[in-house]
Structure 1
Amino acid sequence: MRALLAAFALLTVLPLGRAFAPEDLKGASAFFPLVGYALGGLLALASLLPLPPGLLGALLLALWLALTGFLHLDGLLDTADALLGAKPREKRLAILKDPHLGAFAFGVGGLYLLLKGQALALLPEPLFLLLLPGFARFAFLPFLQRYPLAHQGMAALVRGGPLLPPFLLALPFPILYPGPALLAFLAAYGVARLALARIGGLTGDVLGAMVALSELAGLLGYALWSALRA
């Protein structure tokens, strides 16, 4: 139970900031997809509101960001500033610890919000909205277990947890939506490879960027999949 609470404390805005033991934090990764399903369930319910598509898409985006405390968006912005452009490794690592935003953060963040909002305005089916956040919170775990860490931080606290339970929890999404699932996984892989090449490994911010871009890639994959079915 404490590992489950730790998972919600790490990935949502819920006020569960109690002191967790190291084994609770490592075990939390087993429940990451369940956290995603809780978020996705609220998104799926909100998607049923009788609102115009554009307004409903904006509402879903706001709800998605708010429920996570903007955690993954913050990781995406910091990662964009650190990994993009020509900089030495030491400068990239320093940028990850700098709370200020640069041009790459504004550019990537603006495009991310625009694309995600437009994809949500297409009103994906509620089942898709339920399952995607759960899969996105599994997609980065294989890379967290395999790739080195650029520095010790929150990523180090959850590294080493079980991989099979979250894989089984996340499995319904690739079974039902194989195309979007592949794109979501490839997005996580691309961020991990770029981080490995430019800062020597993963960080908590990089993991947040992997979740954010996995979700976006899954939504864009759904839009493409829907267009091909039409």
Structure 2
Amino acid sequence: MERDGRRDPEPAFPGAGLAYDLAACLRFYSRLPVPALPGEGDPHAVPDFRAVPRMLPLAGLILAVPGALVLLVAWGLGLGPFLAATLAIAIGVAITGALHEDGLADVADGFGGGTTPERRLEIMRDSRIGAYGGVALVLSLALRIGAFATLLDRTGADAALALILAAILSRTAALAPMVLLAPARPGGAGAAVGRPERPALLVATGLAVLLALVCVAAGLPFGGAALMLGMATAAALAMTALARASIGGQTGDVIGACQQVAEIAALLGLVAAIPA
């Protein structure tokens, strides 16, 4: 199939299209060394986000597994909830190259320090971190570490399921700005990857819900998982509305910030749903 002058790679094996999209997600969202698959086009090309996001929930699961395992091992070794949660977050940041954290810091600096859309975008492009960005990073890390430490105290090993589900739901919810807003910069990263199409969104949503049900079957409370889903969605929509009001669209930084606030909201929802 050819779209906008770009020809999709011919499938080399059954399910190749899904495998290509999963590989593209893993390369885009992490620093994992994902090799080129048989029959795949240029693995280093900018992914076409019109279809690729359908595998984003599964990519989120894969990216979360190392952190979940570290959380369980550290907890099992008796390091305590705070150290176990901190190590798990550190592994996740290393795997993604702080991709989402970087977006959060840039958005905090831009939205907090700029007075016009143009000035905010200019600040967001600056690689230096300011006071707003620094505070946002500290709060993000503290809230996530605190949430996982609390969940370890209250649920034990089920906290690893919470880590995995939060990663799945937050990345899926972070598609909201891409779907609802036009790119704020015509030549920026948000414009380069394209807009998710309806079939891809339906698959991604269905897959995220299915994986949430798997986590429930594995031990997470249904009410807590449902609250995680609702809180992640609400946080993503709130960030989308803030981006529309602040810069009139979305950027790659906005999407990264959206993932962070959605993950934090999901974890706080689960903590609130589980009695102390």
Same topology, TM > 0.5: yes
* CA–CA distance in structure 2, aligned partners of residues 100 and 86 of structure 1: 15
* CA–CA distance in structure 2, aligned partners of residues 19 and 102 of structure 1: 32
- Determine which structure has the larger helix proportion and give its number: 1
Partner of 2:182 in structure 1? 148
Partner of 1:164 in structure 2? 202
The amino acid that maps onto 1:55 is: L
* CA–CA distance in structure 1, aligned partners of residues 113 and 246 of structure 2: 10
* CA–CA distance in structure 2, aligned partners of residues 85 and 94 of structure 1: 10
| 2:171–2:259 Cα contact (<8 Å) kept | yes
| 1:138–1:167 Cα contact (<8 Å) kept | yes
Partner of 2:69 in structure 1? 45
Partner of 1:103 in structure 2? 131
Partner of 1:59 in structure 2? 87
Instruction: Give unpaired runs (5+ residues) of structure 1.
Output: none
* CA–CA distance in structure 2, aligned partners of residues 147 and 164 of structure 1: 18
* CA–CA distance in structure 2, aligned partners of residues 120 and 146 of structure 1: 31
Residue of structure 2 aligned with 1:130, choices 144, 149, 164: 164
| 2:180–2:240 Cα contact (<8 Å) kept | no
Quick one: structure 1 residues 147 and 102, their matched pair in 2 at CA, closer, same or farther if it must change by over 3 Å?
Answer: same
Residue of structure 2 aligned with 1:215, choices 263, 270, 274: 263
Partner of 1:20 in structure 2? 45
The amino acid that maps onto 1:148 is: A
Deviation at 1:84, TM superposition (A): 1.9
The amino acid that maps onto 1:128 is: A
State how many pairs are aligned.
Answer: 227
Instruction: Give unpaired runs (5+ residues) of structure 2.
Output: 1-18, 35-41, 217-221
Deviation at 1:31, TM superposition (A): 1.1
Which one is further off, 77-86 or 62-71? 77-86
1:26 aligned counterpart, secondary structure: coil
Deviation at 1:104, TM superposition (A): 0.6
> TM-score if structure 1 supplies the norm length?
0.90
Partner of 2:55 in structure 1? 31
The amino acid that maps onto 1:10 is: F
Q: Which has the higher contact order (CA 8 A, sep 6+)?
A: 1
How far does the alpha carbon of each residue in 1:81-123 deviate from its partner, in whole angstroms, 9 at most, with x for none? 1112451111101011110111110111111111111112122
* CA–CA distance in structure 2, aligned partners of residues 138 and 22 of structure 1: 16
Which one is further off, 159-168 or 205-214? 159-168
* CA–CA distance in structure 1, aligned partners of residues 180 and 90 of structure 2: 33
1:18 aligned counterpart, secondary structure: coil
The amino acid that maps onto 2:195 is: R
Q: CA RMSD in A?
A: 2.0
| 1:81–1:102 Cα contact (<8 Å) kept | yes
1:210 aligned counterpart, secondary structure: helix
How far does the alpha carbon of each residue in 1:55-81 deviate from its partner, in whole angstroms, 9 at most, with x for none? 101101101211111000000000001
| 2:108–2:136 Cα contact (<8 Å) kept | yes
The amino acid that maps onto 1:103 is: A
2:45 aligned counterpart, secondary structure: coil
Q: If you compute each CA radius of gyration, which structure gives the higher value, 1 or 2?
A: 2
> TM-score if structure 2 supplies the norm length?
0.76
* CA–CA distance in structure 1, aligned partners of residues 168 and 194 of structure 2: 17
Deviation at 1:35, TM superposition (A): 1.0
| 2:28–2:47 Cα contact (<8 Å) kept | no
The amino acid that maps onto 1:38 is: I
The amino acid that maps onto 2:253 is: D
1:171 aligned counterpart, secondary structure: helix
| 1:191–1:210 Cα contact (<8 Å) kept | yes
* CA–CA distance in structure 2, aligned partners of residues 41 and 34 of structure 1: 11
Identity of aligned residues (%): 34
The amino acid that maps onto 2:45 is: F
Runs of 4+ in 1 over 3 A off after TM superposition: 15-18
